[in-house]
Amino acid sequence: MAECEPKKVGRPRAEQTLPLILAQNRPKVVREYTLEAPIAQLIEDYVSWAAGTGGISSDEARMLLIGRSVDAFIRKDVLFKHHIQDQKGAKQS
């Protein structure tokens, strides 16, 4: 007899119809960073595609892509999370 997979709880995910970077909007600041050439080209390729697909400017697509990418990457860094928690604990003392 085949085993049944556990039933997933909650609403099924909606099909993705736009680039993921268009999911949310936040306040903006201007910063300048140096990137390796292949990464910069990859960013520009994605920005060009996302801007055309999403009907937004390249600047908006670039800002959304970089912001969301950095946010997702940093959220995975366990040592940085501990650092932030330590800082918050020190401020409360």
pLDDT along the chain (93 residues), means of 10: 67 80 72 94 97 94 92 93 90 78
Instruction: Output the pLDDT for position 21.
Output: 72
Residue numbers of the domain that contains 60: 35-92
Looking at the structure of the chain, the number of domains it has is: 1
Give a yes or no: residue 82 inside a domain: yes
- Asked if the structure places residue 59 within a domain, the reply is yes
CA angle 29/49/74 to nearest 5° reads: 45
Residue at 80 is within a domain: yes
Neighbouring C-alpha atoms within 13 Å toward the C-beta of 11: 3
| Residue 4: predicted pLDDT | 67
How many other C-beta atoms can be found within 10 angstroms of the C-beta atom of residue 78?
8
CA quadruple 20, 26, 58, 69: dihedral, nearest 10: -50
28: in domain = no
Look at residue 12 in the predicted model and tell me its pLDDT: 80
Q: Look up residue 90 and give its DSSP letter.
A: H
